Homo-oligomer: A and B are copies of this chain.
Amino acid sequence: MLLKTIQVATPSAQYPVLIGPGILPTLYPRLRKLSKAKLVVITSPNIWTLWSKEFLASFPPQDQPAILTLPPGEKHKRLPAIESLAEQLAQQGADRDTLLIAFGGGVLGDITGFLAAIYMRGIPFVQVPTTLLAQVDSSVGGKTGVNLAAGKNLLGSFHQPRAVFADTDLLRTLPRPELFAGLQESIKAAIIRDPRFFTFLERNREKIQAASGEPDPATLARIVATSVQIKADVVAADEHEQNLRMILNFGHTIGHAIEAATNYKQLLHGEAIAWGMIAALHVALARQTITPDQFARMANLILAFAPLPTFKAKAQQLVALTAADKKNRSGRRAFILPTAIGKAEVVHTITDEELLTATQRMLDDMQSSKP
């Protein structure tokens, strides 16, 4: 199978995203093409246990990278983790030329990217994403950061990687819920931007679900490549999320609130976004920017990757939690509203009442979808 390269071109940087199988055992020459300096890998213990042999396969004995590890999980995505890693970098003699390599899922990539953004006011890094979520979404686009108690990703930087190496072989060891959660970001990309991709996902869902065994590798590689292409186009047009880029946050207004309400523990990010998309679709249906038929197709695709875990929360609590949304400006809510399958707009006129009604309908859907 051939590797696919997608170029991301933003005002601040241009870099390739390499997608396909068999990339991991060829990393060393690719990294050394980017940098002759010190290499430091940041990874999680479980990823390293599974994949260190393949990761290191191409490194010569005399030029092994330094390895730093970070425990997995959203609860470590905080400033103390950044401080601890930075002290370790300094002890290792890392300087402004040092290349960091984020080898892990979305949380690890966000942390490593932010560390690279602020260590000595900015050093280069590359992403080697190991989850579907990270491959289709979070490793591309340069959003980095950590959480506050007050909310997700409230501290961070825009810092583009020098390259992204998305080896789809890594998805083989990915637990099924993580695979399905990652798919939700691909569904999001299709809904906001690409009707053909939406139809592709509808038609190929069985190949991905494949109840027994692995999802079809070619289908998965195509999903990653198309999702990355959509993201690359949006990010190229609006690197710092002044406007268009906000559409990538479709489903994230209520999605982030769900994560906060469940203490970032109960649901995977993609699962929370799935419910958030259902809520946003209800807003659009009530506003008649989409038809009941369009609503049904989009909601069905989101709910197809079952079982989507449920949670307990009141609609009012969730809406209250959206007050701290980063997209809000001077108190005005920014909301991503689908206007067709493959099209979405940023609107600033969504009222608390509309959001409350839509969120309640999503919670009702959740109740009725329970086995």
Contact = CB atoms under 8 A, between A and B. Distances in A.
Interface string A14-49: 000000000000000000000011100000000000
A331 B54 CA distance: 29
A143 B149 CA distance: 27
B330 A97 contact: yes
A355 to B, nearest CB: 17
B324 A90 contact: yes
A156 B121 contact: yes
Given A79-B79, A121-B143, A329 B157 contact: no
Nearest to A151: B90
Contacts of A330: 36-38, 95, 97
A80 B86 CA distance: 14
A212 interface: no
Contacts of A326: 95-96, 120-121
A118 B328 contact: no
B93 A149 contact: no
A149 to B, nearest CB: 6
Interface string A228-267: 0000000000001100000000000000000000000000
A152 B150 CA distance: 28
Contact of A150 (B91, B148, B156): B91
Interface in A211-226: none
B331 A93 contact: yes
Given A79-B82, A90-B154, A156-B118, A329 B97 contact: yes
Interface string A118-162: 111110000000000000000000010100111100111110000
B93 A155 contact: no
A116 to B, nearest CB: 11
Contacts of A323: 93
B331 A117 contact: no
A352 interface: no
Given A90-B151, A96-B328, A118-B157, 8 more contacts: A38-B330, A86-B154, A87-B148, A93-B324, A96-B326, A119-B154, A121-B143, A121-B158
Sorted nearest first, the 8 A-B pairs with minimum C-beta distance are A90-B150, A97-B330, A121-B156, A120-B326, A118-B155, A79-B83, A79-B79, A37-B330
